[in-house]
Amino acid sequence: MAADKPNVVLLYADDLGYGDVSCYGAKTISTPHIDKLAAEGLRFTDGHCAAATCTPSRFAMLTGEYAFRQKGTGILPGDAKMIIPPGRATLASVFKGTGYQTGVVGKWHLGLGDGAMDWNGSIQPGPLEIGFNHCFIMAATGDRVPCVFVKDHQIEGLDPADPIQVSYKQPFSGEPTGKANPELLKMHPSHGHDMALINGISRIGYMKGGKAALWKDEDMADTFTSQAVKFIEASKDGPFFLYFAAHDPHVPRVPHPRFVGKSGMGPRGDAILQFDDSVGTILAALDRLGLKDNTLVLLSSDNGPVVDDGYQDQAVEKLGKHKPAGPLRGGKYSAFEGGTRVPFIVRWPAKVKPGVSSALVCQVDFPASFAALTGQPTPPAAVDSQNILPALLGTDMTGRTQLVEQGGPVSLRDGNWKFIPASPGAAKNKNTNSETGNAPDPQLYDLSQDLGESQNLAKTRQDRVKAMSSALEKALLRPGK
C-alpha cells in the first residue's frame, strides 16, 4: 500500500475532557495506552471539536460544516430522522472515493431513517448512505432509547416475534419506568432520565419489546471494541478508514466489572479507564497485523467533560482533586475553552515526528484535510472545512488563524484571543452545575496569558472587542454570502 494512502483510525471519546487523561496533566488517573499513543505521536494543546455538545460536533466533523448553519442539529432524541442527507459528501465518502473500506462503530447520534421509522424493518437512511461501507452503532446515546445495536440496516439480534416500539411522547402500558418503579433501579437518576427502564437503568424516552436485542451496558465497550477489531482484520489489506465512536465516559457510566473501583473516582473514572483499554486493544490489533507504521491514528473527544450529567453515580462526590477540564474553564455545554478544547493526538510513525504542537486545529477540518491527504479537492458542501493537513502532520505549528466555537453562545478564537459576545440566559446550567458562558456583557480573554479565562479584558480592549465582534458576525455568515 502506498505511503500516501495510509489507513486512518479515528478514536473518538464521548465527554472526555482536556484534563481527563494523564498525558494532558491528570494526576489522579492514569491512561497508559493514550499516553503511549501521545508519546509516539503529536499531542496538540489547542485541538478542538466544533461544538460543546455531541450531535453538533459530530455533524460538523463528518460534513465539514458548522452545525449552527443547519436547523435541527441540536442534541437529538433517539428516534430522530437522519440529519445528514443521503449522498452528501462526508469524511467517510472522501475516503471511500479513493478506494478505502470505511466503517463506523459505536455511538452515532445523527439520526436514522426518514422520520417514519419502523425499527423492525430496514433502518435507512443511515451511515451506509453517506459513505460508510459498514456500521455497527447505537442510534443515539446510552441514556436514550432504543437500547439496541444497529448493524448496517438491521437491529442486531432482533427476534421478529418480539418487535420493538419506541416513543418519545408517551409510555407504553405495562412497561416499568424509572419514575414509577424506582425499586427496580440499580442506578438512580439525578435529573431527568426517569423513563424506560432497561438493565436496571432508566433512560430518556420509552420503548417496549426487542428483549433479545437489548444491550447490556456493562458489555458495551467490549462489544464496540471487538467490532472495531473485526473491521480492521477484515480490511487489513487496506486502505481503510475506521471511525470508532466510543460511548465512554458518557452517562450512564456502567463499566465492565473488571474496571469497577479501579480509578478510585467512581464510575466516571472507571469509564475513562475502560476507554483507555479500548484504545489499547485497537492499537494492539494494528501492531499484531503489522499495520502500525502506515496507519494514521487520531484520538479526540466530541466535547468537553461533564461530571453530573443525569445519574447519581458518585462522580461529584469522588472527584477529589481531579480537574476534568484541566487548566481550562467550563466543559460540556459551555462557551469557555473547556467546552471544545479536548484531547487531540495524531500518530503516524511513517510520517509524523513525535512531539507537542500548539497549532490551532479543529475536527471540522477533517473533510478538507483528508481530502488533501488522498489527493482530492475539498467537497463543495464542506464550507467551513480548511486544509490543516500540514498542522496535523506536524510541519505547520500555526494551524487555523480563526475558529468559531459553538458552546452556549457562539464564540470566536482569533489566534490567542477569545471573544464571547453578550448573551442572554443563565450563567450556570442548574442541572449539571456547569458554566454556560452566558453573560450580559461581552467577554474577551488573552489565552496566552490567561488560559483559564479569568480576566475579562473587554472593557479595556474595546478595539479588540469591536474587531472580533465584526469578525464573528462575518464568520457566522455562510461562506460566499
Q: DSSP of 276-344, one letter per residue?
A: HHHHHHHHHHHHHTT-STTEEEEEEESS---S-SSB-SSTTTT-TT--TTTT-S--TT-SSGGGTB---
Dump the DSSP string for 73-109: -SSPPTTPPPSS-TT---HHHHHHTTT-EEEEEEE--
Q: Could you tell me the end-to-end alpha-carbon distance of the chain, in angstroms, rounded to an integer?
A: 42
CA quadruple 315, 321, 323, 327: dihedral, nearest 10? 170
pTM beyond 0.95:
yes
pLDDT per 10-residue tile (average), the chain, 481 residues: 78 98 97 98 98 98 97 95 97 98 98 94 98 98 98 98 97 97 97 97 98 98 98 97 98 98 97 98 98 98 97 97 98 98 98 98 98 97 98 98 95 98 94 94 98 98 98 88 52
User: Grid coordinates in use for 339?
Assistant: 467546552
Is-contact 3 90, C-beta < 8 A? no
- What is the reported pLDDT for 479? 79
Give φ, ψ of 43 to 5 degrees.
-100, 120
Strand segments (E) across 158-233? 165-167, 197-198, 201-202, 206-208
Rounded to whole angstroms, the Cα distance separating 81 from 93 reads: 20
Strand partners, 243: 10, 104
B/e letters for 334-355, b = 16+ CB within 10 Å, e = fewer, are: bbbbbbbbbbbbbbbbebbeee
Rounded to whole angstroms, the Cα distance separating 393 from 217 reads: 37
Is-contact 47 300, C-beta < 8 A? yes
